[in-house]
Each structure stands twice: as structure tokens, then as C-alpha cells.
Structure 1
Amino acid sequence: MRSVLYTPGSSRHLYKIREIACDASLIDLEDGVAPEAKDNARERVCSEVAKGGYGRKAVVVRINSLDSPWGEDDIREVAKLTVDAVVIPKVESAADVKRVADLLRHHGAKDTDLWCMIETPLGVTRANEIASAHETVSCLVLGTSDLTRDLQANHTPDRTPLLYSLSRCILAARTYGLRCLDGVHLDMTDAEGFERACRQGRDMGMDGKTLIHPSTVAVANWFFGPNASEVEQAYRVVEAHEEAAARGEGCAVLDGSLVERLHAENARRIIELHESIAALEAGHEAGT
């Protein structure tokens, strides 16, 4: 989930997401669609997604809130589709999650993954409760634009006003074994700022970044995937630790640094991520 690209459900170019090398397409029925276009957008999305052809790319749909006039209709129709996840906007409690999960099952969707948008102060405060709300929750997604507004904070280049909120959500995600995705970068002309935000998000522990333009996909993929030197070092760490274990030793020394089991486990995570990315990108190239 290095790159998760938002696409409005009302977009005339919805079919083009098959051609974009993002890890996931987040098709939006909520903020990206005007109220008067909601019903038509839902119909368009369901028709397009039902055609398939997305290969290994994940396809997820963000529904409208159940407190809106469109949320229940969204769930009823999306439950008929084969999607990788349903994204719930502005989640603020475990009850919000359970309502969606129950309705999806009522309409025939079995064990559909749920991604929870954390984009309000109350959502951040209850991040642990939300992360553990239901067995189908698999990802927390930061809605940093709405959160910044509700915090009455300023958008700053270093995102200092958001660091506590980002960290709290990452902690919740890691506590319950979920992914955590960073919020969007709004200024599409600010390439340097986008790279800085990607680097910061990765350094903090984010799994990937939500995006608003296809031109940013390649950069996000680069920052949130292990580079060649990291992969090479991961293989060396695993080899050193396995050789030590074969000698009956619990740790090894590699390039003057101690290698213990925790380092080997992290190295295996990097290798697994690298291999998953390679398979995904091979699928993009083959169109499968």
C-alpha cells in the first residue's frame, strides 16, 4: 500500500485507473462527489468496478457516512461488488465501525476489509478503540486536511501540528496489526514538499501515502518501498543471524554492529515487502 490514489466516483476517467501503477485505487463516493451527483456516481462506480480488469491492484471504495442520506444506499450497492475494502469516513467510535460491518454482512458481503478514516480530534483520541473495533478492520487512513481544520491548526511544511496525531494513529495500527496510511499532500505544484512529506511519513512508520494525482504515484512508490541497498542489507542480516544460529549463538556481528533476532525479523519483513512489490509490479507490466 505504498501509493493509494483517490479517484472521485463521478470522474469521467474512472476507467483509466486500471492503467495507473498505484498499489491501490481508492474510489471516492464521499467528499470527491457533489451532493447532486451522489446517486449517479454510485451507479457509475458499481458498473465500472463490476467489469474487473484491475489485475493485482487493490480496489477500495469510500462510502458516505451512515449519518448522510447516501450511506446506507452506498453499502447496499457496494456489498454486491468484489472489492478489497470499504473505506469508512470520519470514524469516531467502535460503534461507527460495527454499524458498517453489520450492514455489509446484512447485504451479503462476507468479511470485507474495512479501512477507517481518522480525520477528527475525537477519531484520533479513540484510535485504539477504532483499530480494535472489529475483526475486519485492516487499515487506518489519516484524513489530514479535515483534521488540520478541526484542530484549528495551520498547514506547515514540517507538519509539526499533526505529529502527535500521526504518531498516535501509527501506534494504534501497530498495536493491532493494521496498516496505517498517511494523508494527502494538497499542493500538487510543490514536488519538494511532497517528497519531504513522504520521507517524513516513512520515517514515522507509515505504510504508504494517499494521493490525489497520478503524477505522484512513482514518487510515493519509491519512498515507501525498500531501496536496493536496504534489500541487500536485509539479506545480509538474515544470513548473518542464521549462520550464528547454526553455531548455537543468539547473535552475530555484521560490519561491526550487533545482529539479534529482532534485527533478523525486521530484515525478513523488508525482504517480504520487496518480494511482494516485485510481484505487484510484474503484474502491472503484464497487465494482470
Structure 2
Amino acid sequence: MTTAAGAAAHPATVLLGAQAGAVALPVCDHYSGVEARMRKSLALQAEMAQEFGACVFDVTLDCEDGAPAGGEAEHAALVAELALSAVPGARVAARVHPVDHPAFEADVAAIVGRAGARLCHVMVPKVESVHDVARAAQALDAAGAPALPLHALIESPMAVHRAFDIAAHPRVQSLSFGLMDFVSAHGGAIPAGGMGVQGQFSHPLVLRAKLDIASACHASGKVPSHCVVTEFRDAQALRQAATRAARELGYMRMWSIHPDQIRPILQAFAPPPQDIEDAAKIIAAAAGADWAPISFGGQLHDRASYRYYWQTLERAHRTGQVLPSSVQPYFAAPPR
């Protein structure tokens, strides 16, 4: 039998099953569209990567809301320049205009055509169907980035209805929920409070949409990304929303629109310290038993529960938590 983490087969290789090959992403996706804020976001990302020893959040450079009317081409060129200037190992994405916007093709050509190799993905807003995803994928292919993933922003009742088909597209890594556009799309049927930090967790139509998107993602091994909290100066509200998204609604990621939101999101999506300790002990014991069933704390564990505890350790790593020494070697080298 094997006892050391480095001597055993890697858990990511051994623990196959329904989630084998599922997408894993940083738990925070930080958006900025004004030049000064984009530059500060990239600098903060580099600083926190040094602090945590890993890139713990994505920076998405925004064209849809960031580009001034009539200045779309200049803004796209700036986004490409900033992506190219990011430090090695940085995770930088771009949100382009919707596929039916006149600037969409030019966005992709300017940003992906020039900086596609430095992007981790492209976010496409206002996706209504899998046909929009296919059109976006074709544009990325034409720009010379046939392997670049797509993230889709779901913002209407019809898009929610089609979320399972959209999530199943092979180029899609993640679905995000566009809360404010979703509420507005109901023509006043959902009150304005549905966009607030309380209403978005209590109004039945909003809550149902969030659950449908999360379920669609998990069905295809993709990452559901929770919507913004616009009350960005209310740290307690942000923490509560992030915690509920992670623990009650099945979300694995969340948007940030202000630097002060990043750390609370990391904390909310990180496993509790005791869960990390238990997961490390169970995975170490499982490896020592060559992944046969074991008894731990008076409970039976086998590969089904091993998979859960391994995913707990992966999430801890993605959120910059300190891992117990028994499992640290698993994160020092890629799976074999």
C-alpha cells in the first residue's frame, strides 16, 4: 500500500465518476471596464497571487459596459493591450459585446485576434440560445483561437429556459446569471426589490432562475457563476449573499464589481477549516488503502465520498487556503 501523497496515484486521476472532467475555475470573477480600474485590477490580481501562492480570481476586462458609445474600437484595442501586459500566470478574460451588436465581430477580431493566447476565456453577454454560442465560437475560431473557452451570461426568461442546452455546448465553461436584465425582462412583473440583495434570494422567479442555471451547469460539468451584489459598500450583505449562493444554491463562483468584494467572496466560497482538515485526513487514509473503502470517524467511506472530499481540497486550493502537509504534494505537480 502507499502512504505518501506523492507516491500514490493522483486523486484527480483515480476518482473518476460523474464529475470527471468537470471544469474548475477560481471562485471569484472580478469585472472592470474603466482603464484606471482595469489596470488596478490586474495589479491587485498579481499582488494576491503572490500572497496566496495561486491566482485566486479572474479579471474580466469589460467591453460591453466599459466601452463608450462610438469608442468601441479604441476600447477593444486597450483591452487587448492590457491582456498582453498581464504578468505570467494571470487569468485575464474579456467581455465582448453581444453577438447581435454591431461591435461584436470587431471586438473579437481586435481582442482575440491579438491577445487570444493570453486570455483564459471570453464572456459573451445576452446569450439567448445555443445558436448564439455557436456564432461566438465561430468568431473565436476565425480569430485564430479555436480552443479558447466561452462563458455565457444568461439574462432573460427564455435564456433560462434554454440553459441546459447552452451549458451543454462543448465550448462553454460557465454560465453567469444577469440579475438586473433578468428582472427588467419581466416588464414590471418582478418588483425592483428583486434586484436587491434580499429580494434576489426571496422572489420565486429570481430564485427559480438561479437554481435552473446552477442545475444546468452541474448537469454538464460546468461552473455556475452567481450574479453581482450591487450594494458593494455593504460588506455584510455581500458576505451573506456569497455564502447563500455557495451553500444553498450550488454556485461555484461569483462576480465581483469592486475590489472590496473579492476577499469576502473568497472567504464565503472557501471550505471551513475543519472541513479541510477532515478532507485531508480522509484522502490521505484512502490513498494509504489504495482507494479501497475505509472507516473514518465511525463512518464508511469509499470512492463516492472520496470524490467529494477531494473536491473540497481543490476548492480550498482555489481559494488560497493553507492545506495540511499530508495533501500538499498533490498540488505541487499536475496529475499523472
| Structure 2 CA distance for partners of 1:111 and 1:192, relative to 1, 3 Å | same
Deviation per CA, 1:92-116: give whole Å up to 9, x if none. 1111000011111112112111001
Contact 1:234 1:267 in 2 (8 A): yes
- 1:256, distance to aligned residue in structure 2 (A): 4.1
Is contact 2:63-2:95 (8 Å) kept?
A: yes
- Report deviation, 1:275: 3.3
What per-residue deviation string (whole Å, max 9, x for no partner) do you get for residues 48-70 of structure 1? 222232x4331110100121121
2:109 paired with 1:57: no
Identity %, equivalent residues: 22
Correspondence 1:213 to 2:258? yes
**Aligned equivalent of 2:71, options 37, 43, 51:** 37
Question: Relative to structure 1, is the Cα distance of residues 279 and 235 closer, same or farther in structure 2, using a 3 angstrom cutoff?
Answer: closer
Q: 2:108 aligns with which of 75, 81, 90?
A: 75
Specify which of 127, 134, 145 is matched with residue 109 of structure 1.
145
Q: Which residue of 1 aligns with 2:271?
A: 226
Matches within 5 A, 1:72-151: 72-80=105-113, 81=115, 82-133=118-169, 135-151=170-186
Give the CA deviation at 1:233.
1.1
Residue segments in structure 1 that go unaligned for 5+ positions in a row: 281-288
How many angstroms apart in 1 are the aligned matches of 2:266 and 2:89?
15
C-alpha contact (below 8 Å) 2:179/2:195 kept by paired residues: no
TM-score, normalised via structure 2 length: 0.75
Alignment partners' CA distance in 2, 1:118 and 1:224: 22
Which secondary structure does the structure 2 equivalent of 1:42 belong to? Answer: helix
1:191 aligned onto 2:235: yes
AA aligned to 2:276 is V
Partners of 1:258 and 1:34 lie apart in 2 by 59
Structure number with the bigger relative contact order (C-alpha 8 A, sep ≥ 6) is 2
Deviations 1:189-242 (A, max 9, x none): 222211111011101221121011001111111111223221101122334555
On the 8 A contact 2:269/2:319 being kept in 1, the answer is no
Indicate if the aligned counterparts of 1:92 and 1:120 stay in contact, CA closer than 8 A.
Answer: yes
Aligned to 1:67, the other structure's residue is in SS state: coil
The Cα shift of 1:148 comes to: 2.1
**What is the total number of aligned residue pairs between the two structures?**
274
Match of 1:15 among 39, 51, 56: 39
2:284 and 2:232 map into 1 onto residues whose CA distance is 43
Counterpart residue type for residue 4 of structure 1: D
CA distance in 2 between partners of 1:56 and 1:263 (Å): 32
- Distance, in Å, in 2 between the alignment partners of 1:96 and 1:77 is 20
Distance 1:102 1:73, change over 3 A: same
* Aligned residue identity for 2:236: E
Structure 2: gaps (5+ residues): 1-25, 49-55, 323-336
CA distance in 1, matches of 2:43, 2:37: 11
In 2, Cα distance between the equivalents of 1:218 and 1:279?
12
Instruction: Find the aligned partners of 1:241 and 1:104 in 2 and give their Cα distance.
Output: 43
Instruction: Find the aligned partners of 1:23 and 1:243 in 2 and give their Cα distance.
Output: 33
Of 63-72 and 151-160, the range deviating more from structure 2 = 151-160
Q: Secondary structure of 2:228's partner?
A: coil
Query: What TM-score do the two structures reach when normalised by structure 1?
Result: 0.87
